[in-house]
């Protein structure tokens, strides 16, 4: 039976850490779905549609990967997609504490869906979407932190916004 996994997140923006986890998950699963969570309470740099487009462009050379959005509980979306595994990337101990709570809650909600933790590559332990946006807002260099297509879009987005 083919193994389908869901890698959920806000991916605002998709970083090289996210890319690394994606590329390391691909040999382990038959199909990987990157699910962008729609969260009206979060203030995002990019719309969900823009994130889908950028991630699809970044991962275009990978077979067996799809990118879509979802609302509601991650575990319900995983089940609806036929995913029996949720992939979660970990950077540090603080991530583990939060992710362990979420994995246990998901298991309680749906014991058919398991969580697989993957450590982010050590070169990206310090990279978060929030940090990338902050560095870019302060005119820092984000190349090497995000894929080139995404770096270009982050800079274009910031340049199109009115200056204070």
Q: pLDDT value at position 91?
A: 87
> Is 69 in the active site?
no
CA dist 146 and 138 (Å) reads: 16
CA dist 37 and 53 (Å) reads: 15
pLDDT, tens digit (0-9, with 9 covering 90-100), for 93-113: 778 889 999 999 999 999 999
Cα three-residue angle 135-70-126, rounded to 5 degrees: 25
> What are the residue ranges spanned by the domains of the chain?
4-160
Catalytic residue among 51, 84, 129, 153: 129
Torsion over CA: 41, 45, 50, 52 (sign): negative
CATH number of 4-160: 3.40.50.620
pLDDT band at 163 (very low <50, low <70, confident <90, very high): low
CA dist 89 and 107 (Å) reads: 17
> Is 108 in the active site?
no
Contact 37, 10 (CB under 8 A): yes
Tell me the mean pLDDT in the region 136-142: 95
Is the pTM higher than 0.75? The answer reads: yes
Secondary structure class of 80 (helix, strand, coil)? helix
Catalytic residue among 42, 43, 61, 163: 42
pLDDT, tens digit (0-9, with 9 covering 90-100), for 38-77: 987 878 999 999 999 999 999 999 999 999 999 999 999 9
> Is 160 in the active site?
no
């Amino acid at each position: 039976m083919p193994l389908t996994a869901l890698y959920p997140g806000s991916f605002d923006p998709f970083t090289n850490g996210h890319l690394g986890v994606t590329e390391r998950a691909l040999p382990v699963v038959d199909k990987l779905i990157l699910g962008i969570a729609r969260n009206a309470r979060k203030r995002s740099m990019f719309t969900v549609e823009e994130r889908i487009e950028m991630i699809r462009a970044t991962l275009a050379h990978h077979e067996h990967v799809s990118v879509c959005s979802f609302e509601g509980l991650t575990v319900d979306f995983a089940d609806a997609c036929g995913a029996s595994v949720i992939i979660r990337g970990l950077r540090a101990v603080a991530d583990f504490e939060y992710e362990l709570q979420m994995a246990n809650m998901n298991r309680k909600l749906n014991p058919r869906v398991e969580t697989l933790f993957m450590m982010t590559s050590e070169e990206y332990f310090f990279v978060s979407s929030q940090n990338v946006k902050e560095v870019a807002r302060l005119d820092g260099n984000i190349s090497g932190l995000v894929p080139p297509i995404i770096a270009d879009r982050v800079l274009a987005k910031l340049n199109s916004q009115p200056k204070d």
